[in-house]
Amino acid sequence: MSPKFRLLYLFLGFAGLFCLVYYVVTSFPDVNPINVLLITIPDIIFFSLAYKTYPVENDLK
């Protein structure tokens, strides 16, 4: 994958985590697990895409 999208994926992942924390803090007694999943699944996808953009080092000796 192209490394030029790494910062975009990281930004979107951390923005989603911020939204998740904000949602949990503001609706603490009545946290809906479906909404938590709807926020965390895209975060997992964006962080995995950011991980795929890191360069691979072939140190096979």
3 versus 42: the higher-pLDDT residue is 42
Is residue 17 within 8 A of residue 43, CB to CB? The reply is yes
Is 60 within the bounds of a domain? no
The one-letter amino acid code at 59 reads D
What pLDDT was estimated at residue 39? 92
Residue 11 contacts residue 59 (beta carbons within 8 Å): no
Each residue's pLDDT tens digit, 18-61: 999 999 999 988 898 999 999 999 999 999 999 998 877 765 65
Question: Which token pair is 56?
Answer: 């691979």
* Residue 58 lies inside a defined structural domain of this protein: no
The candidate with the shortest Cα–Cα distance to 45, out of 19, 10, 20, is 10
Domain that holds residue 28: 3-52
What pLDDT, on a 0 to 100 scale, did the predictor assign at position 54?
84
Domain count of the fold of the chain: 1
**H helices of the chain, where?**
6-26, 33-52
pTM for this one?
A: 0.80
